[in-house]
Structures are given as C-alpha cells and as structure tokens.
Amino acid sequence: MKIGIVGATGAVGQEMISILEERKFPVTDWVPFGSARSEGKSLSLLGLERKVRVLSAESLTGCEVIFFDAGDHISAEWVPVALKSGALVVDSSATYRLDPSVVLAVPEVNGKEILEKFKTGSRLFAGPNCTTVPLTMVLRALENLSPLKRAVISTYQSVSGAGALAIDELIEGTSAKIAGKPFVYEQFAHPIAFNCIPHIGSFGDDGYTSEERKVLLETRKILGRPELKMAVTAIRVPTVRCHGESVTLEFLNEISVNDAKSALNAFPGIQLLDSPEEKKYPLNDPHGTGKDPVFVGRVRKDPSVDHGIQLWLISDNLRKGAALNAIQIAETLLPLIRSSSL
C-alpha cells in the first residue's frame, strides 16, 4: 500500500514514521510531504528512503492512505485535493473535527462509527485534540458504570503539543536561563522555561481559550453527549512530552473506587497505575513518554459531591494523542480499504 505523510518532518510526523514501523503497517511505498524548506531532504520508513516533496495534486496522486500532520491551514487547502485523488485521509488537525459529516475518531471509543461511515462512502476521518483522546477513553470506561453528569478537567500540557520548534525552545530557553544568558522566546505567550502558562490557543469573549473549547466540544461530539456539562482549564507546562489531566467527575449513580479502577483497567488502551502508598501513579517519565497506553492513577472519591470520582491521567500526546490514534483509525479500515476500489 502506498501512503503519504503530510508533515513528515514535524513532531507528529516523525512519531508516525516510527509507529508505522513498529506496527508493521503494510507500506509498500510512501511519500513524505513537507514545506519548501524540507524539500529534497531524505527520510526513511521501513527501509524505503524517499525525498520530501511539496504538496501538489500530482504528488498526492496514487497514495491510498494519506495522513495529514501539518496544521489547520494545510489541511483546509489540501485535504480536499487528497480526497479528490481517491485516498483515505486521516487528518490530525482541528479543521474537520467538528464537521458533522466527519467522524471524530478514537477507535476504542467509537470504532463502530468509523466502519459505518466508511461503508457509506466517507473517506475523511479526523483525529481529536491530544487531550481529548485519553479523556474520552476514561469517560467512556466509567460511563459504562453510570451516566456522567458533569466533568471538570485541568490539563498539564507538554510543549511538544505545540510542535517540534516548541521542544527546542523549552530546552534552549531552560539552558539559557540556568546560564543567565538572554533568550528570545517565540513559541508561547510567555517564556516557557520554569513557567506554567494558563493560555493555549486564543482567548474568546467568554474568557475560554480555543484549546479549552476544543476539549469541551470534541469530547461532547465523540461521546455523543452534546449537552454534557464540562468545565476545562488548559495549562502549558515546561515538560517535553506527555499531557497530564486532572479529572473530576460527577455521576448520576454511586460508583465505588474499586469498580472505577476495574472498569478503567479493563478498557482497551488504558493501564491503571495506582498504588500511592508505593509512590506509584502516572508520570510523564518513565510511564507516558514513548508508550501507547493512557495511564490512570490517583483514583479516589470526590468528597464534595454525592457520586464523584477524581483521577489523574498521563498520555503521550505525540502517540495516542496524535500519531498512534491516526494509525489505529487507518488500521480499523484496512480490511475495507483492501476490498474496496479506492
């Protein structure tokens, strides 16, 4: 199968290459796409060395599956061209996530919807925001025990959520700060070294940021709960990789901590790590970084409401939050792609 990766040189694109290799995705040929600054650079996937190309109708033609990992504007302009060429498109940008005709997909949560939509002719599937993916898995696992009434979420998001340049900025800015040297920060609203910044995306009139609104609206869409009461605070923290989330939930009926833990641990893709007396709870490193599962711990009663549960999660934003989830969407459809005339 010939595939394309748009944004192959970026933080998500690079992770995608290594996950496709790990999972032995059936690639027979591929095209890495990037901006003009990377054109001609060599990249290797499964031993197939290819040069980065810029996007054009001609260069997109012939790919059966195209992963878009390059940003909203690129997806808005080029996804329609890719679809026209007959490819299956998995888009990690925010462009189509809330489009009612597009499935916003987390295979463990709404895998059936992916299959049904493909059978009706849809060839575009969207991957959610990197904080939404693990959150919806946790909520769906617990919703199986009792209907959810309200969710209050605070995110602790690593800099890689903002792309490859943001990783460099954290590392170089931190070194400069320690050395007492000046450093010009460009990636965030404030210097990220030694700071937590309660500002991701742009502010709306209601005081919510675009990132907070994404988590709220995307979660409601994926769970099929458009009225779900949610409050979200998104915070950028000076870590390289993995997003943490403090999750406070109120249910209609009582859920015991033990039942919650069992349901979470039994859910595909979630791993419980909850032994506080042994100082075991999910951490960016060694647990989340480079790993597939969503790690959940600190599961406890919320004493402030009748049927409340609180927990902490860690998930690798570049893997389950983006590249892995996109590949799993394509894998869900592989048997159908092979039997259809794309």
Ligand X SMILES: NC(=O)c1ccc[n+]([C@@H]2O[C@H](COP(=O)([O-])OP(=O)(O)OC[C@H]3O[C@@H](n4cnc5c(N)ncnc54)[C@H](OP(=O)(O)O)[C@@H]3O)[C@@H](O)[C@H]2O)c1
Residues that are catalytic: 130, 243
Q: How far is the CB of 215 from ligand X (least distance, A)?
A: 12
Residue nearer to ligand X on the CB measure, 10 or 297: 10
Measured between alpha carbons, how far is 273 from 334 in angstroms, rounded to an integer? 32
Closest residue to ligand X, based on beta-carbon distance: 10
**Applying CB under 6 A, does 7 fall inside the site for ligand X?**
yes
148 membership: H or E segment, kind and range: strand 148-157
Q: What is the DSSP string of 87-118?
A: -EEEE-SSTTTT-TTSEE--HHHHHHHHHHHH
**Applying CB under 6 A, does 20 fall inside the site for ligand X?**
no
**Binding piece for ligand X, criterion CB under 6 A, among 5-13, 215-223, 251-259, 287-295:** 5-13
Q: How far is the CB of 252 from ligand X (least distance, A)?
A: 32
* Residues numbered 288-327 forming contacts with ligand X, rule: CB under 6 A: 317-318, 321-322
Residues 6 or more apart in contact with residue 88 via CB below 8 angstroms: 64, 65, 66, 118, 123, 125, 330, 333, 337, 342
**Applying CB under 6 A, does 247 fall inside the site for ligand X?**
no
Query: 96: closest CA among 118, 80, 116?
Result: 80
Residues 6 or more apart in contact with residue 6 via CB below 8 angstroms: 13, 33, 55, 66, 67, 68, 69, 70, 74, 78
Measured between alpha carbons, how far is 214 from 35 in angstroms, rounded to an integer? 26
Q: How far is the CB of 155 from ligand X (least distance, A)?
A: 12
Number of other residues whose CB lies within 10 A of the CB of residue 51: 13
**Binding piece for ligand X, criterion CB under 6 A, among 2-10, 82-90, 270-278, 327-335:** 2-10
Residues 6 or more apart in contact with residue 37 via CB below 8 angstroms: none
Residue nearer to ligand X on the CB measure, 189 or 336: 189
* Residues numbered 159-218 forming contacts with ligand X, rule: CB under 6 A: 160-161, 163-164
136 membership: H or E segment, kind and range: helix 132-143
Sort strands 65-68 and 88-91 into parallel, antiparallel or unpaired.
Answer: parallel
Measured between alpha carbons, how far is 17 from 41 in angstroms, rounded to an integer? 15
Q: How far is the CB of 302 from ligand X (least distance, A)?
A: 29
Q: How far is the CB of 32 from ligand X (least distance, A)?
A: 9
**Applying CB under 6 A, does 130 fall inside the site for ligand X?**
yes
* Residues numbered 31-70 forming contacts with ligand X, rule: CB under 6 A: 33-35, 37-38, 55, 69-70
**Applying CB under 6 A, does 132 fall inside the site for ligand X?**
no
Write out the two tokens for 37: 């600054």
Q: For ligand X, which residue of 85, 92, 136, 289 counts as binding (CB under 6 A)?
A: 92
**Binding piece for ligand X, criterion CB under 6 A, among 157-165, 187-195, 220-228, 270-278:** 157-165
Binding string, residues 210-229; x marks residues near ligand X by CB under 6 A:
--------------------
Query: 69: closest CA among 33, 120, 26, 41?
Result: 33
Residue nearer to ligand X on the CB measure, 95 or 310: 95
Q: How far is the CB of 222 from ligand X (least distance, A)?
A: 14
Residue nearer to ligand X on the CB measure, 146 or 317: 317
Write out the two tokens for 84: 């026209």
Q: For ligand X, which residue of 21, 50, 61, 71 counts as binding (CB under 6 A)?
A: 71
Residue nearer to ligand X on the CB measure, 160 or 310: 160
Give the single-character DSSP code of 200. -
**Applying CB under 6 A, does 328 fall inside the site for ligand X?**
no
Kindly report each contact of residues 167-176 with a partner whose C-beta sits within 8 Å and lies 24 or more positions away, as own/partner. 167/11, 167/240, 170/238, 170/240, 171/240, 174/238
Q: Which residues bind ligand X (CB under 6 A)?
A: 6-13, 33-35, 37-38, 55, 69-71, 74, 92-93, 130, 160-161, 163-164, 317-318, 321-322
